[in-house]
Amino acid sequence: MIQATGLTSNARKGSPPAVDDVSFDARAGRVTALLGARRSGKTTAVRLMLELQQGRGVTYFRGRPLHRIAHPAREVGVLLGDVPGHPARTVRGHLRMLCSAAGVSVRRADDVLEVVGLVSLREERLGTLSRGMDRRLGLACALLADPHTLVLDDPVAGLSVRESRWLHGILRAYAALGGTVLFTTDDAKEAARVADRVVTLDAGKVVADQDVADFARTRLRPRVAVRSPHAARFGVLLAKEARTAKRSVEVVTEDGSRLSVYGSTCADVGDIAFRHGILVHQLADEIGDAGPSAAAPLVAEGRADSGGGGADAGTDAHPGTGTQPGTGTGTQPGTGTGTDTQPGTGTGTGTGTGAETGIGADGRAQATPLNALTPTSTFVPLADAASPPAAQRRSAANGRAPEAASARETSAALPTLPPPITVRTARGPLRPVRYELRRATGIATGHVTVALVLAVSALLSVLLARAGHTPQPRLIAAWPQMLPLPPAALGAGLLGALSFGEEFRHPALAADRGTVPRRLGLLAAKLLVGAAAALLLGILTIASDAVLLYLVYGSELTQVPAEWPALTASWLALVVGCAWAGVLASGLFRSTAAGLAAVVAVPIIIVPFVQKALEGPSVRTAAGLPGRVRDLALVDWPFGIERFAAAGMRMITQPVGGALMLSLSALLCAYLLTALRTRVR
């Protein structure tokens, strides 16, 4: 369950806090609606619960705050706005990438795609999805790790009526299997149809926390919707007629031409309009929203909200509002006679079909049964039906207590949910590495970068060979004197910068955290994959340049130099160091451009700084360092590894190598400090 206590947002200068001391519970096995108009604080409250926004208060998910949960995606499935994925990634690729991060088999992606109805669109790009399909994908992401709790912020915004009903069915089915569901909405009728409990917010404060039956009785009131060009005069006449007849009727002016009449019938209102010669453009029965102020005090004040309304044949007991203080007769279109008994001061008899005209989710008027919005007749309690064995197994597998809440459903079967899963709990870098591999290979950016680097490097090597005066090592590496770094090193740095830069630009892992988590496992995976990509890019660059030089100019320029171990080690260390600098800088500054700038700054800024620091007279030098390191080894290194180690030490003693090591050390320390500071918070 969810226990939110004292949620309060930080107040802006000169304005009250958007959320002020909000406390409520959302129980397992039930659907809880957080209801409020725009700017009432619903989204802010959800963001405070998920620790996405700074403020006061605490929220417990099954007894633990979110920052104390090792893997939040397994506990809370979140849907906030659009899916934060790269627009060029496919639907299936995006889900498989998240499966790798959550430690779930990639087959789970196909299971949730089937549930949300996106199997036929699994190869579509995220950027081409419609609003409804994006919401389905967001729900699939929330269901991926089989969490116990679902938190959705205005999940049906922009959806059609059919898609909204489908999503509501998913929420009901998830709660029926023991899960906790919390969603926000600004539609009181939607809250009454879907939720078991409704928490009403107004101006950042909780004004009501009710079961859906109490909510429907106090908030949703029968009314007569009237449209007339003479609405103001007609409202005065209706109030005068009510006072003359000593009837409790409330007339509310909605806009310049619309009235809402509570406590009367279409027949009475139409009769008054006819007798006074007032033109009426619309006259219809509706279920109206009385607003947040009508929550609990309505019944205590004894306000009469309906009366004289017809009922179907038999007795129709509304758990609604008060009645007229007497007996009246009204006529509505249709047949059927009965008594309408309500908990008020009197009763009213009338004739009617028990049908009315309401406003649908698409804003169009539609005919609705009179009892369609009353909680006693819309759904069947799940406690009366036997729980299916599959639901029992699912609850046991996920540690959920199957609670027979006051869940309500239509006669149609609940939607099918994905089967329960077992999340791999083994620790280690395997999951982040799989995630990083799928992230890097799921879009064409990396492939295009590698192809562009190989093409530019090959062209530069041919041009340098044609001009002459370039040493062979620089010729094969396509590194002219005027460039601070060769194209392969710049490409490796760009690949490293993209690893974290794209993560922050399209935060697929941040749906429940607000920002990319600074976990050391994720950093280690990015460094490992970045080093592998840099090594592959460096080897391919040398091979392609050598092959092209051989084809154009023959074997004269492709002779293997005698010091090839040292040159190879220096070259590979250079590209790997640039890739790591890009990874650390982009993770620290949250930008791809910052990561690439840190790579370019090594030869342009740091190398001159190191050279200037080493200038001047010195009593002792570090000459012969590689040889002394080799002498310290107690045993001989196999396979000639000592030569590569000596070459690496020789590179570190060079200005570029020393500057690169200095840059990497500073970036790593800064990243670790920010990660520790985030954990302390």
Does the pLDDT value for residue 317 go beyond 90? no
Report residue 31's pLDDT band, with 50, 70 and 90 as the boundaries: very high
- Give 332-343 pLDDT, tens digit per residue: 333 333 333 333
Q: Which two structure tokens, joined as six digits, stand for 131? A: 């609003």
Q: Which two structure tokens, joined as six digits, stand for 130? A: 């419609």
Query: What whole-number distance in Å separates Cα of residue 529 and Cα of residue 296?
Result: 59
| pLDDT, position 353 | 33
Report residue 515's pLDDT band, with 50, 70 and 90 as the boundaries: low
Q: Which of 32-36, 134-138, 297-301, 662-666 has the lowest mean pLDDT?
A: 297-301
| pLDDT, position 404 | 34
Distance of CA 95 to the CA centre of its chain: 13
For residue 41, count other CB atoms closer than 10 A to its CB: 25
| pLDDT, position 459 | 94
Does the pLDDT value for residue 74 go beyond 60? yes
Does the pLDDT value for residue 315 go beyond 80? no
Which is nearest to 513 in space by CA: 70, 116, 91?
Answer: 70
Percentage above 90 pLDDT, the chain: 38
Q: Sheet containing 282-289: give its strands across.
A: 250-253, 258-262, 220-227, 282-289
Stretch 431-448: mean pLDDT: 91
Instruction: Tell me the residue type at 383.
Output: A
Q: Which of 110-114, 309-313, 532-536 has the lowest mean pLDDT?
A: 309-313
- Cα distances (angstroms) measured from residue 332 to each of 130, 204, 249, 278, 358: 43, 41, 18, 20, 15
SS3 627: helix
| pLDDT, position 249 | 86
Site of tokens 């089967």: 419
| pLDDT, position 12 | 80
Report residue 350's pLDDT band, with 50, 70 and 90 as the boundaries: very low
| pLDDT, position 251 | 87
| pLDDT, position 68 | 86
Stretch 99-125: mean pLDDT: 90
- Cα distances (angstroms) measured from residue 413 to each of 169, 377, 416: 9, 17, 9
Q: Which domains does the chain have, with CATH numbers?
A: 17-203 (3.40.50.300), 217-368 (no CATH), 431-680 (no CATH)
Query: What whole-number distance in Å separates Cα of residue 493 and Cα of residue 574?
Result: 10
Query: What whole-number distance in Å separates Cα of residue 195 and Cα of residue 152?
Result: 13
Top-confidence residue, 391 or 469: 469
Does the pLDDT value for residue 34 go beyond 90? yes
Query: What whole-number distance in Å separates Cα of residue 520 and Cα of residue 163?
Result: 40
Query: What whole-number distance in Å separates Cα of residue 381 and Cα of residue 606?
Result: 71
Spatial CB neighbours of 600, under 8 Å, sequence gap ≥ 6: 484, 485, 490, 493
Report residue 274's pLDDT band, with 50, 70 and 90 as the boundaries: very high
Does the pLDDT value for residue 229 go beyond 70? yes
Q: What is the CA radius of gyration of the chain?
A: 35
Stretch 58-71: mean pLDDT: 88
| pLDDT, position 660 | 85
Q: Which of 287-296, 532-541, 564-573 has the lowest mean pLDDT?
A: 287-296
| pLDDT, position 311 | 31
Taking phi over 0 as left and psi of -120 to 50 as alpha, with beta for the rest, 264 belongs to beta
| pLDDT, position 609 | 75
| pLDDT, position 649 | 54
Does the pLDDT value for residue 200 go beyond 50? yes
| pLDDT, position 414 | 58
Average pLDDT over the chain, rounded to an integer: 76
Sign of the alpha-carbon dihedral angle for 288, 294, 296, 298:
negative
Report residue 179's pLDDT band, with 50, 70 and 90 as the boundaries: very high
Q: Which of 42-46, 54-58, 294-298 has the lowest mean pLDDT?
A: 294-298
Stretch 49-64: mean pLDDT: 90
| pLDDT, position 627 | 59
SS3 17: coil
8-state DSSP, 252: E
| pLDDT, position 644 | 56
HSE-up of residue 22 (Cα within 13 Å, Cβ side):
31
The 3-class secondary structure across 420-472, one letter per residue, is: CCCCCCCCCCHHHHHHHHHHHHCCCHHHHHHHHHHHHHHHHHHHHHHHCCCCH
Stretch 234-259: mean pLDDT: 87
- Give 567-626 pLDDT, tens digit per residue: 888 899 899 999 999 999 999 998 999 999 999 998 888 878 777 766 655 545 555 555
Q: Which of 70-74, 115-119, 356-360 has the lowest mean pLDDT?
A: 356-360
Q: Which two structure tokens, joined as six digits, stand for 60? A: 């417990």
- Give 625-664 pLDDT, tens digit per residue: 555 555 655 555 555 555 555 555 555 556 677 788 888 9
- Give 365-382 pLDDT, tens digit per residue: 333 332 333 332 223 232
Q: For the residues of 357-370, what is the DSSP string, one character each?
A: EEE-TTS-EEEEET
Report residue 305's pLDDT band, with 50, 70 and 90 as the boundaries: very low
| pLDDT, position 527 | 94
| pLDDT, position 51 | 86
Q: Where are the alpha helices (DSSP H) in 468-591?
A: 472-477, 487-505, 520-553, 564-589
Q: Are 529 and 618 in contact (CB under 8 A)?
A: no
Spatial CB neighbours of 475, under 8 Å, sequence gap ≥ 6: 461, 464, 465, 545, 549, 557
| pLDDT, position 635 | 53
Does the pLDDT value for residue 307 go beyond 90? no
Query: What whole-number distance in Å separates Cα of residue 472 and Cα of residue 558?
Result: 8
| pLDDT, position 124 | 94
| pLDDT, position 285 | 86
Most confidently modeled range among 135-139, 352-356, 507-511: 135-139
Which is nearest to 655 in space by CA: 609, 599, 595?
Answer: 609
For residue 559, count other CB atoms closer than 10 A to its CB: 8
Most confidently modeled range among 73-82, 171-180, 395-404, 610-619: 171-180
Task: End-to-end CA distance of the chain: give it in Å, rounded.
Answer: 24
Does the pLDDT value for residue 253 go beyond 70? yes
Does the pLDDT value for residue 431 go beyond 80? no
Q: Which two structure tokens, joined as six digits, stand for 167? A: 């999503």
Stretch 202-221: mean pLDDT: 88
| pLDDT, position 181 | 96
